[in-house]
């Protein structure tokens, strides 16, 4: 591990808060990072508190006295000139740090040059299991400029149970505790706008950072404890004035002209509602705060607009697309998780209908895994609005509901009928995820034509096999095609891996158990091939026992010895494990995962050479691939296999090695690469 210890300058402003400042400095003495300087600014305190600080910490901190209070903005701007570090830490004087707080912050900045600011986890000093009001687990704003945090929305503060742990992009980092890359300050138009004086200045800085194409991040590996409003709590009315005024200031400074025209009228309406709220709730002092804030905004708003740096025009900014006021007070969404939105990325999947099939299950697994990784995911269906066969961590709603939700970053159609809806839906980017070759799923000519033309709809196309990639490019040479690895093998199959020896079973005169799994009876599954093989093997030999598994209620043929309808995944896994051979006769499936399931359970895999199966099946390495059904009985493939025990063991062992590369733990690995 590379040791990193660039110099860090820690700035602490003190204003009539000597007791808190001394506690903060005492906690900093325990910091395990060994290359930092502390700059304490006595920001116009009434009692010249700098002398007392200098007396208690003669060599530990550099103390400077300002005769007047320059506010948070002016005090930090002044202190910045005295810093020598590569990174700048802003730390409130009413905080206590954990001994290991600094190293994770520095490490994250060193790891990625695009990261400009990092905020630690900030918790309450007097209730250490709860998030702090000021920063919690990172801050955001909604589209109308109202700030909130993960862990605290308005007056609802959450208990920290690790629900927001990890490293995440955030819109703003709290000025109570954050680390800043010093070299970025000039690139974003300076440090703090001194017109703001107090409050919202860190939001303005972070907004400019995002507009410059850099990132603001949160990490839970660094922890700070904060005494709420110890400095500013003495004048709540003044504080409310600054909050209202400065929030409007940073809006006009950072919105584009087009955004301002759309957003400011609604924001002004919300300001009028604030008057009504203060009147009804009998908070008369705040009416004055609001009036003075609006008076100053009318007077200085245009002047503040002139400060806008038009060179900062990066558009990927994690702003919550809804109204936090409406969601919190009207929709009763009390917690950040209730918003079903993520700064990492927001996905919407379009599925055809609520049917228990492999394709839908893959999408559900993807949605759950995206949510586990900190993304937001929603699923919409053309038909129906409920599903009860898979445990989803997100909503499953009719497509009608999508028009009342915020615009997702990524919209993904997962079957050809839903691809036709893509052009009519709102999204930043649109994709058609083709899991099977649509035209081969239907015998009705109109459906074949519609399915084929779905691949020509303007959208990026995602495929998971060479077969599908060729088909898509054949049909639409102008489409952008992304290929992913189909990591969808369920963990239910891990427990059944065995090195079986079917030649021993042959010698003991047991019947050879052959299993086929066909979810639905369609042409692409090769039903005619399967029946031909079963019929001829039964005619020529009497030592075969055939089992068919399907989601259909009845077998498509009477030649089957055993039929199992709609078993659970664990039941299917046991059937694979109990069988000697898994036989696939698929024609044009995108990539049948049943072969992988069989391999994972130690079942010998015999398959036709059609469709996407060749993406993982390699003849005489992990499977036996036949070019036509009659090869099985005419060339006596199975009989010859029984005579070569070592080859059988080799095929089964290599089959497991192959399956081991497709576990669902990595189901969104390639998806993430495409979207990032």
CATH superfamily of 8-305: Spore Coat Polysaccharide Biosynthesis Protein SpsA; Chain A (3.90.550.10)
Residue 232 has pLDDT above 90, yes or no: no
Tokens of 542: 């009497």
Using only the alpha carbons of the chain, give its radius of gyration: 32
Q: How far apart are CA 615 and CA 581, in angstroms?
A: 20
Identify the band that residue 498 occupies on the pLDDT scale cut at 50, 70 and 90. low
Q: What's the mean pLDDT in 375-394? A: 90
Distances (CA, A) of 422 to 150, 349, 411, 417: 32, 11, 8, 10
Where along the chain do its domains lie? 8-305, 345-483, 491-660
Q: What's the mean pLDDT in 661-670? A: 92
Q: How far is Cα of residue 628 from the mean position of the Cα atoms in its chain?
A: 45
Mean of the per-residue pLDDT values for the chain? 91
Half-sphere exposure of 506 (CA within 13 A, CB side): 16
Least confident of 148-157, 223-232, 454-463: 223-232
Tokens of 286: 């705040």
Tokens of 642: 């029984």
pLDDT tens for each residue of 587-612: 888 888 999 999 999 999 999 988 89
Looking at per-residue confidence, does 115 or 237 come out higher? Answer: 115
Q: What's the mean pLDDT in 454-482? A: 92
pLDDT tens for each residue of 73-132: 999 999 999 999 999 999 999 999 999 999 999 999 999 999 999 999 999 999 999 999
Q: Decide if 564 contacts 487 (C-beta within 8 A).
A: no
Residue 147 has pLDDT above 60, yes or no: yes
Percent of the chain with pLDDT over 70: 97
Identify the band that residue 48 occupies on the pLDDT scale cut at 50, 70 and 90. confident
Domains 345-483 and 491-660 share a fold: yes
Q: Decide if 489 contacts 661 (C-beta within 8 A).
A: no
Q: Decide if 438 contacts 451 (C-beta within 8 A).
A: yes
Domain 345-483: which CATH class? Answer: alpha beta
CA-angle at 233, arms to 227 and 236, nearest 5°: 145
Q: How far apart are CA 605 and CA 620, in angstroms?
A: 10
Identify the band that residue 503 occupies on the pLDDT scale cut at 50, 70 and 90. very low
Fold of 491-660: Rossmann fold (3.40.50)
Rounded to 10 deg, the angle between the 284-305 and 257-280 helix axes is 170
Using the structure block, give the residue that is written with the tokens 């394709």.
359
Distances (CA, A) of 440 to 74, 141, 290, 355, 509: 69, 48, 65, 19, 41
């Amino acid at each position: 591990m590379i040791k990193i210890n660039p110099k860090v300058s820690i700035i602490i402003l003190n204003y009539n808060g000597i007791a808190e400042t001394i506690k903060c400095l005492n906690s900093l003495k325990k910091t395990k990072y060994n290359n930092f300087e502390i700059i304490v600014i006595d920001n116009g305190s009434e009692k010249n508190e700098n002398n007392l600080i200098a007396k208690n910490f003669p060599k530990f901190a550099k103390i400077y006295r300002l005769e007047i209070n320059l506010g948070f903005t002016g005090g930090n701007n002044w202190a910045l000139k005295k810093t020598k570090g590569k990174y700048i830490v802003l730390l409130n004087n009413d905080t206590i740090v954990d001994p290991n707080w600094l190293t994770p912050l520095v490490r994250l900045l060193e790891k990625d040059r695009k990261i400009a600011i990092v905020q630690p986890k900030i918790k309450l000093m007097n209730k250490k299991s709860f998030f702090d009001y000021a920063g919690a687990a990172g801050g955001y704003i909604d589209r109308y400029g109202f700030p909130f945090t993960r862990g605290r929305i308005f007056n609802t503060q959450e208990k920290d149970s690790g629900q927001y742990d990890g490293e995440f992009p955030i819109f703003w980092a709290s000025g109570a505790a954050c680390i800043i890359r010093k070299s970025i300050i000039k690139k974003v138009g300076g440090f703090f706008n001194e017109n703001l004086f107090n409050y919202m200045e860190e939001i303005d800085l972070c907004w400019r950072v995002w507009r410059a194409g850099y990132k603001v991040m949160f990490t839970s590996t660094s922890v700070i404890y904060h005494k709420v409003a110890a400095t500013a709590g003495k004048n709540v009315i003044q504080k409310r004035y600054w909050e209202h005024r400065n929030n409007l200031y940073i809006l006009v400074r950072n919105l584009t002209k087009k955004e301002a025209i759309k957003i400011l009228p609604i924001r002004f309406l919300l300001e009028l509602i604030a008057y009504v709220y203060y009147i009804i709730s009998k908070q008369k002092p705040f009416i004055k705060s609001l009036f003075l804030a609006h008076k100053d905004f009318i007077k200085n708003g245009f002047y503040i607009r002139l400060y806008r740096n038009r060179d900062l025009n990066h558009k990927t900014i994690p702003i919550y697309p809804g109204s936090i006021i409406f969601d919190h007070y009207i929709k009763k969404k009390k917690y950040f998780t209730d918003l079903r939105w993520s700064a990492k990325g927001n996905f919407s999947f379009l599925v055809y209908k609520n049917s228990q099939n492999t394709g839908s299950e893959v999408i559900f697994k993807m949605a759950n895994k995206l949510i586990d990784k900190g993304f937001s995911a929603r699923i919409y269906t053309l038909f129906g609005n409920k599903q009860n066969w898979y445990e989803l961590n997100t909503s499953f709603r009719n497509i009608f509901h999508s028009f009342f939700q915020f615009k997702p970053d990524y919209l993904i159609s997962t079957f050809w009928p839903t691809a036709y809806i893509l052009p009519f839906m709102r999204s930043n980017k649109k994709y058609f995820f083709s899991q099977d070759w649509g035209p081969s799923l239907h015998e009705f000519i109109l459906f074949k034509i519609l399915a084929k033309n779905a691949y020509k709809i303007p959208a990026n196309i995602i495929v998971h096999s060479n077969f599908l990639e060729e088909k898509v490019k054949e049909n639409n040479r102008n489409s952008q095609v992304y290929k992913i690895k189909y990591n969808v093998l369920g963990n239910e199959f891990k427990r059944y891996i065995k090195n079986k020896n079917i030649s021993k079973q042959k010698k003991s005169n047991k019947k050879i158990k052959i299993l086929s799994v066909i979810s639905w009876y369609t042409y692409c599954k090769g039903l005619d091939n399967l029946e031909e093989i079963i019929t001829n093997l039964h005619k020529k030999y009497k030592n075969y026992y055939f089992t068919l598994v399907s989601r259909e209620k009845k077998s498509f043929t009477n030649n089957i010895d055993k039929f199992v309808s709609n078993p659970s995944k664990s039941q299917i896994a046991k059937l694979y494990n109990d069988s000697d051979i898994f036989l696939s006769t698929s024609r044009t499936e995108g990539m049948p995962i049943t072969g992988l399931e069989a391999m994972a359970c130690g079942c010998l895999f015999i398959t036709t050479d059609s469709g996407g199966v060749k993406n993982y099946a390699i003849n005489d390495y992990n499977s036996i691939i036949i070019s036509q059904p009659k090869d099985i009985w005419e060339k006596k493939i199975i009989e010859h296999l029984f005579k070569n025990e070592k080859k059988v063991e080799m095929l089964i062992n290599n089959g497991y090695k192959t399956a081991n590369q497709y576990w669902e733990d990595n189901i969104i690995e390639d998806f993430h690469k495409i979207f990032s």
